[in-house]
Amino acid sequence: MNGLAGQTALVTGVGSGIGRASALRFAEEGANVVVADIDVEGGRETVDLIENAGGDATFVEVDVSDTASVERMVDATVETYGSLDFAHNNAGILTDFVETTGISEANWDRIVEVNLKGIWACMKAELPAMERTGGGAVVNTASEAGLVGMGGLSSYSASKHGVVGLTKSVALEYAERDIRINAIAPGPTKTNIQSGIVGDSGGTSILGRIRSVVGTVRMALRTLRADFDTSAMRDVPMGRIADPEEMAGAVAFLCSTDASFVTGTTIPVDGGQAAD
Ligand code: NAD
């Protein structure tokens, strides 16, 4: 990919899944990578994977919902490598499957704080650092759920629609300042996201609880089953779910000079789901 070698990339949510694949891809392209996660063990494993492949990476612990923690992450990046050129704001969590009336305030707040406020907090700290060292590119991880509604996942879907709107708006603010800001909208991807689910009570009714449990199990099966003979697979026009590396390819493209006139857009990486 043009323009990534010798630059510095910061990736959040690297303990597994899409963020790990993105960090590995940046390193493969010759970038120095700061890998940040709330999960220290997973983040350090990603550093080991990058170093074993001959790349250069540094782990920073972060909670993206905490602005002070995010500021420390960006400061550490610039202190370690002297600049911040690319940021992939990717950390995110999934809620369990529950209708809107059954969502607790605590879970609503946590989903929005991590998935939406977290992206804002990252850009708030990253953009001045990028501007100081000559510009750069940001990629935010939205979701297919940020492009279409998803019954049973309204808080997650709302947070991801927010990421799409935030990406467009901030891109306009920085369009003349050498910083391009885009997003990817992954379709179903083989990752660990099910294990970090923010559970909810399903409301106070027994029926709500049963619906919640059934929906969560259904989603877990959709994501985890390797043979994937389920509705999730049938929902994807290309007939399969994605590997995280396929998301990393889109991120690398959006950061590269091949995407030099692309800003404010969200690219669906979803096997055709958004077209359906
Ligand atoms: P994952 O669980 O494998 O990775 C998410 C990472 O984010 C984990 O390492 C986790 O520790 C980290 N994280 C969670 N909360 C954090 C916080 N507060 N601060 C810092 N790090 C935190 O899941 P994934 O599927 O790779 O998810 C990455 C992104 O992709 C998320 O934003 C998710 O919403 C999005 N996404 C995933 C899918 C999918 O099917 N897997 C589809 C669409 C969008």
pLDDT by residue (tens digit) across 121-176? 999 999 999 999 999 999 999 999 999 999 999 999 999 999 999 999 999 999 99
pLDDT at residue 98 above 70?
yes
**N residues, the chain:** 276
Q: Quick one: tokens of 249?
A: 């390819």
Give the confidence band of 226 by pLDDT, cuts at 50, 70, 90: very low
pLDDT at residue 202 above 90?
no
How confident is the model at residue 224, as a pLDDT?
47
Give the confidence band of 60 by pLDDT, cuts at 50, 70, 90: very high
Distances (CA, A) of 45 to 40, 42, 252: 9, 5, 21
How confident is the model at residue 212, as a pLDDT?
57
Residues 245, 226: Cα–Cα separation, whole Å: 16
Q: What Rg value do the Cα atoms of the chain yield, rounded?
A: 18
Q: Among the atoms of ligand 1, which is closest to the Cα of residue 186?
A: 43
Q: Quick one: tokens of 143?
A: 């979701």
How confident is the model at residue 68, as a pLDDT?
98
Q: Quick one: tokens of 234?
A: 């049938």
CB atoms near residue 206 (< 10 Å): 9
3-state DSSP call for residue 11?
strand
User: Which one of 156, 187, 198, 202 is the catalytic residue?
Assistant: 156
Residues 169, 163: Cα–Cα separation, whole Å: 10
Burial class (CB in 10 A: 0-12, 13-18, 19+), 276: exposed
Q: What is the identity of the amino acid at 5?
A: A
**275 membership: H or E segment, kind and range:** none
Q: Quick one: tokens of 141?
A: 């991880």
Q: Report percent pLDDT > 90 for the chain.
A: 82
Q: Quick one: tokens of 247?
A: 């998301």
Which residue's CA is minimally distant from atom 7 of ligand 1?
13
Q: Among the atoms of ligand 1, which is closest to the Cα of residue 223?
A: 40
pLDDT at residue 208 above 60?
no
Mean pLDDT for 11-35 is: 98
CB atoms near residue 53 (< 10 Å): 11
Strands 266-269 and 136-141: unpaired
Alpha helices of 29-151 — where are they, by DSSP H? 40-52, 67-81, 105-112, 118-132
CB-side exposure of 17: number of CA atoms within 13 Å? Answer: 23
Give the confidence band of 225 by pLDDT, cuts at 50, 70, 90: very low
Q: Quick one: tokens of 199?
A: 């559970």
How confident is the model at residue 47, as a pLDDT?
98
Q: Quick one: tokens of 244?
A: 């995280």
CB-side exposure of 193: number of CA atoms within 13 Å? Answer: 26
Please state which CATH class domain 8-269 belongs to.
Answer: alpha beta
Residues with CB under 6 A from ligand 1: 12-13, 15-19, 37-39, 42, 62-65, 90-93, 114, 141, 143-144, 186, 188-189, 191-193, 196
Q: Among the atoms of ligand 1, which is closest to the Cα of residue 69?
A: 19
Q: How far does residue 93's CA lie from ligand 1's centre (Å)? A: 5
In whole angstroms, what separates CA 20 from the centre of its chain?
10
Residues 57, 59: Cα–Cα separation, whole Å: 7
How confident is the model at residue 198, as a pLDDT?
72
* pLDDT higher at 194 or 95: 95
Give the confidence band of 69 by pLDDT, cuts at 50, 70, 90: very high
How confident is the model at residue 235, as a pLDDT?
86
Give the confidence band of 197 by pLDDT, cuts at 50, 70, 90: confident
The one-character DSSP state at 198 is: B
Give the confidence band of 9 by pLDDT, cuts at 50, 70, 90: very high
How confident is the model at residue 67, as a pLDDT?
98
pLDDT at residue 201 above 60?
no
Active site residue 156: yes
